[in-house]
Structure 1
Amino acid sequence: MSPRRCSPVSSSAVPVAGPEHVWSVTEHLEDILGTVRPLEPIELQLLDAQGCVLVEDITVPLSLPPFDNSSMDGYAVRAADIVGASEEFPAVLTVIGDVAAGRSGELRVGPGQAARIMTGAPLPPGAEAVVPVEWTDGGLGGGPVSGMRAHSAAPEGASGQVHVHRAAEAGAHVRTRGSDCRAGDRALDAGAVVGAPQIALLAAIGLGTVRVRPRPRVVVISTGSELVQPGEPLDDGEIYDSNSFALTAAVRAAGAIAYRVGAVADDAETLRATIEDQLVRADMVVTTGGVSVGAYDVVKEALSHVGDEDEAGSGIEFRKLAMQPGKPQGFGSIGPDHTPLLALPGNPVSSYVSFELFVRPAIRTLMGLPDVHRPTTRAVLRTDKALTSPAGRRQFLRGRHSPADGTVSPVGASGSHLVAALAHADALIVVPEDDTSVEPGTEVEVVLLG
């Protein structure tokens, strides 16, 4: 598959800022969304388009259903012939033949006649309604039956009778032409995500392909010599690599195609080579770990000067953000196609919160979605004691949101390594930069996670 790239990084999108500048959450997000561009549209087969976003309105080319057809197994009749029909005084009609699904036939229902008809079969001329087989004595079978067997046509001259025990109005059990949608109607709007129901509609109106923005391909790489694949034994000083699994799952949940590379040891050249090898299948690269100020922060070491060697416009900038968790961040592009790269911190909570705030909106921008952000709401803080927050930082605390009573409760402590609490959270409680304490009962902003 050939690479699918977004537009090159625009240098005008990046504010002029020195290395000591502390970025706000809003500044960093605006820079990302002002840089990343939706992927170029392509034509895809229906099943390949699942999860993609339509780039143009879809107009119905033919009415659906395209002809009047039966919604039941039964008998196609004229309404006037079964007026007043009952168990005691059934209407007796002559059966002139069968109409099966997929066969138009040449039957015409006249006065006192009926045609045995199957579900989905076209309503024959002259007929106005369908009486279900359960309302009859089963016709040619000579007694009540539980079902019907389809025949392509009755033998020439075939006849029999059916006793109808209930009346039906014109149009009963008939799916009329265009009752679902009519030719010229708008079936789907540009910007719609193609899911199973949309594929059903596109197929029903006869479209075999559709023009969409493809699902972005996102490569996830975690860094750290201490990281071990889950399922393997741990030595002293080692931990399991959870970030790459969490981020890969989050990428999929955002609607993209995820490629998990796994943990790369703390070696700058190895990391840089790994990233370069992955560019052939990446519309975006996400790394986690190695973006702080430690001696082994290999992402910064590997990528800080990447723009010196790549084409003009490429480069990764490492920043300090006024937020907790997730202060160290990196963003820019890499390689000849200017593939966006977002470098996230390595602590599990910091990594996940950063993904929700920055990576997920970037992925959904690549998809061409009109709304890229998680929904937010206001809720009353339910807690036993006041929440504290560092001055000058926007804090994101894990929480459980209760829509029933409009409250939100903190989950676990605020440490950025506490992944167990994250597993029980469904929201982020936002504490603004200027607030150092939030009392119980205060209304707060809440970011809803799924």
Structure 2
Amino acid sequence: MAYATEKLREEKVFKDPVHRYVHVRDRVIWDLIGTKEFQRLRRIKQLGTTFLTFHGAEHSRLNHSLGVYEIVRRIVDDVFIGRSEWNESNRLLSLCAALLHDLGHGPFSHSFEKVFHLDHEQFSQQIILGNTEVNQVLSAVHPNFPKQVAEVIAKTSDEKLVVSLISSQIDADRMDYLLRDAYFTGVSYGHFDMERILRVMRPREDQVVIKKSGMHAVEDYIMSRYQMYWQVYFHPVTRSGEVVLTKILHRAKELYEQFYQFKYEPRHFYSMFKNELTLQDYLNLDEAVVLYYFQVWQEEDDPILRDLCRRFMDRHLFKYVEFDPAKEYRKFIDLSALFKKAGIDPEYYLVLDSSSDLPYDFYRPGEEEERLPIQLLMPNGEIRELSRESEIVEAISGKRRTDHKLYFPADILYDETSKKNIKRQIRQLLGIR
């Protein structure tokens, strides 16, 4: 039997709180799950610093990756099978891309990406194409198979229908993380009728379309996504955690460049500080490693690094106020000057953070590929863009919402043992008592 079609003697299942069970029958999928690169995802949280806000948000990228795989498995094995528009030879490609789509995420990934200018999708491709256990499994299917999987994840594959299963405005990735993140954070916003959406999905040449009868379930999905972004993903306390974490990394890098003598040398960060990061260096990083450094750096001589690490580890985060940078730019300059007078470095302790989301958009020439619109399959066979049929979706289409907040250490500003008058001026400018 060819490896690509080999089945396990007995089906394996993973008990899952969102999908009840994740089913594995393909030998290739089982072998991929067992690779060290995939198992590394156990040590990377799905939601980064969100655990500082919602204490249940401890689930991992591995949880989510298995969930995305299970949704795609159900689509290709239960919904698409036997339909003329679906190429059955793309089944294994779809399953592998779904399982491995987040393989390149690093610890606290989005914060790390911003500081060190990294791209987790590029690392996913490097892991798939490099000298790794994942590559060995995929190459055993066919020498060109790793490249095919990498191209799906990079959204450069000619198999546009397969790409849309894991990367579009309604895909298995988003459906799983909305339901999973809602479950683990304990909120009610992210719930929608996934079963209904799966039943009304239909394959077309270049993307999945939704039967018109399932439109209301899709509306519910889009509104759930909108609510999750503003109530969970962009929660100001979570963002405060990201701000502090980001500033720790900036400070460590700056100290390294100044030839500071660390008590606990950041060996795992050296290649990033030098912009010489190798794939193996990247794979050696996980959140346990990062948190170890944050723990020991609480004993460093540098007061800024020491203080920021204590804040992150003990959850003594920055406070915040609403702030409009376009209208209050002068105020930010004045605050920066006052922070310096008070002996507080504004580079690390006065941080403007912005969050922005576009809940749904139709296709616009020149926009990124993921803005491919959700298409409805009408009873007469016609294809119609969702916002042309849904008044709810039309009302939010193309409307980007942006939120700006200014973060600062309130405890230092209220400590009047020194620079009392300057700190009072700062509090007055910030509008805090």
> What range is the shorter-chain TM-score in?
under 0.3
Higher-Rg member (1/2) = 1
Q: Of the two structures, which has the highest relative contact order with CA contacts closer than 8 Å and spacing of 6 or more?
A: 1
Q: TM-score, normalised by structure 2?
A: 0.23
Q: TM-score, normalised by structure 1?
A: 0.22
